[in-house]
Amino acid sequence: MAWQCSIGSANTEKPTFMQSSPQLFANNQPETPLDYLVIAPHPDDAELGMAGAILKLKSEGKRVGVLELTNGEPTPFGTVEKRKKETDEATEILNLDWRGNLGLTNRTLLPDLESRKILASAFRILRPKTAFAPYWIDAHPDHRAATQLIEDARFWAKLTKTEMSSDPLPPPRLYYYYCIHLRQTVTPAFILDITPFWAKKLASIKAFHSQFIEGRKETAPMFLEQLTSEASYWGKLIGKRYGEPFASREPLGVGGFSEFL
Ligand SMILES: [Zn+2]
């Protein structure tokens, strides 16, 4: 298992479609389509929002990938190199089938046409059956831009008569994970039982030492403690120890009542 930035990790210049399309994931294309693709504005968002779901899907033998839109830097205690190392460590913990980075610019992410074309092309190459985006309400402009960009690119991934390579194929399903920077009460569409995977989820988050451990205050309430309380709260709502909430803009279909907990 290997991952790499498709366009380089320095992230000093914003890639254009014509630059990036021919070599998009050139040395890093999955051999077979992914079942699930988590799209994250920054390295660590996928782990915070849905590492439990990723671990559960992996335990069921599904092919799961994570695509970051930016390298997430600069941050107060991080560097591009440090963040890459931390991302590699989290990738190993989650046992991902694929991980890539689109090379867009942190802090100034925009749902513009160039970025839409690049991400739509990524969808057509990676061919996931289900995609996950950050929840649509957030204080962080990169997160809101990511949601918009993912929805627009999902639509564009089905276009014909276009300069995009590969066959048209939008992810048929799109759900939203919560990794939000607002103190708000949310009402998820469903909550996943992640009890057996909680310890590993926490380990994948701790891998991002520069983001969640270094420089964090050591008095209560501590970040990782609050994260655990949150997961317990979601678990309580479904009668389990730990849960992970998800949103959907569309109604969810179920195969039968036995599917419910
Ligand atoms: Zn983020």
Question: Is the model's pLDDT at 196 over the cut of 90?
Answer: yes
Closest CA to 39 of 155, 105, 125, 122: 122
CA quadruple 141, 203, 6, 10: dihedral positive or negative?
positive
**What is the CA(106)–ligand 1 centre distance, in A?**
9
Q: Kindly indicate the confidence band of residue 169, based on its pLDDT and cuts at 50, 70 and 90.
A: confident
What separation in Å is there between the alpha carbon of 25 and the centre of ligand 1? 22
41 Cα–ligand 1 center, Å? 5
Establish if 175 belongs to a structural domain. Answer: yes
Q: What is the CATH number of the domain that holds 231?
A: 3.40.50.10320
Q: What is the mean pLDDT of residues 93-99?
A: 97
Q: Kindly state the helix (H) or strand (E) to which residue 247 belongs, with its residue range.
A: strand 243-247
Identify the residue whose tokens are 């991302």. Answer: 87
Residue 88 has pLDDT above 60, yes or no: yes
Evaluate whether residue 208 is within a structural domain. Answer: yes
Q: Which long-range contacts (CB under 8 A, 24 or more apart) does 79-82 make?
A: 79/210, 80/9, 80/10, 80/11, 82/210
Predicted confidence band at 32 (pLDDT cuts at 50, 70, 90)? Answer: confident
Q: Considering the entire predicted model, what is its pTM?
A: 0.92
- pLDDT tens for 116-141 read 999 999 999 999 999 999 999 999 99
Let me know if residue 36 belongs to a domain.
yes
Percent of the chain with pLDDT over 90: 79
Q: How many other CB atoms are there within 10 angstroms of residue 243's CB atom?
A: 26
- Separation CA 51–CA 3 (nearest Å): 17
Number of domains in the chain: 1
CA 33 remoteness from chain centre: 17
45 C-alpha vs ligand 1 centroid, how far in Å? 5
Q: Is 146 within a domain?
A: yes
Q: Looking at the domain assignment, is residue 6 inside a domain?
A: no
Domain contains 259 = no
Tell me if 156 is assigned to some domain.
yes
Residue 240: inside a domain, yes or no?
yes
Cα 99 to the center of its chain, rounded Å = 10
Which tens digits make up the pLDDT trace of 46-65?
Answer: 999 999 999 999 999 999 99
Two tokens, residue 55: 């671990």
* Chain mean position to CA 203: 17
- Order across the sheet with 98-104: list the strands: 3-5, 98-104, 64-70, 36-40, 130-134, 173-177, 243-247, 190-193
Domain span at 225: 31-250
What is the arithmetic mean of pLDDT over 5-20?
Answer: 52
Q: 40 near 140, Cβ under 8 Å?
A: no
130: its two tokens? 């289900």
Distance 169 CA to ligand 1 centre (A): 27
